[in-house]
Amino acid sequence: MAEGFARAYGGDVLNAESAGLCPTSTIARETKDAMLEKNIDISTQFPKLFEPVESKRFDLIVNMSGFELPAPTSPPVLKWEVEDPFGASPRIYERVCQDIENRVMRLILELRREENGKRQARFGPGIASR
């Protein structure tokens, strides 16, 4: 869900990739359905295994697993406590979907503010960038 929201809403400030500590072989139908309710199709996404050695190529890791990551990572780690809806009712999926969407949007807004601050610093006060 988080990757889907990040790709749909934040492509101007981030490049999202998702991975899990114990990924399943497929994305649950309920997850796909909850995302389609938001007009986001994640049918081309697939579960991937988190590889700590690969983490150094990222600027930030968002850990939603509820568990510690298996090895030290070089980028900062942001921990989000998110309910796992697997096996729950569609209503729970919808609630979790909304929670993740809100969190992703807050992160995107924060990244945009940081990006705008860099542009202002680069161009100085009173000079607009395009």
Chain mean pLDDT for the chain:
88
Whether residue 130 is contained in a domain is answered as: no
Average pLDDT value for residue range 45-74: 87
Question: Based on the structure, what is the number of domains in the chain?
Answer: 1
Whether residue 62 is contained in a domain is answered as: yes
Q: Check which CATH number belongs to the domain holding 42 and give it.
A: 3.40.50.2300
Whether residue 46 is contained in a domain is answered as: yes
Domain that holds residue 17: 2-123
pLDDT digits (tens, 9 = 90+) for 62-103: 999 999 888 767 788 999 999 999 999 999 999 999 999 999
Confidence of residue 1 (pLDDT cuts 50, 70, 90): very high
Token pair listed for 14: 């981030």
Whether residue 52 is contained in a domain is answered as: yes
Separation CA 118–CA 116 (nearest Å): 5
Do 32 and 2 touch, CB atoms closer than 8 A? no
pLDDT digits (tens, 9 = 90+) for 107-128: 999 999 998 877 655 544 444 4
For residue 44, the one-letter residue type is T
Whether residue 129 is contained in a domain is answered as: no
Its sign, for the CA torsion 25, 30, 32, 38, is negative
pTM: 0.86
User: What DSSP line would sit under 52-94, residue for residue?
Assistant: GGGGGG-S-EEE-SSS--SS--SS-EEE------TTS-HHHHH
Does 21 have pLDDT greater than 70?
yes
Whether residue 22 is contained in a domain is answered as: yes
Do 32 and 42 touch, CB atoms closer than 8 A? yes
Whether residue 128 is contained in a domain is answered as: no
pLDDT score recorded for residue 55: 85
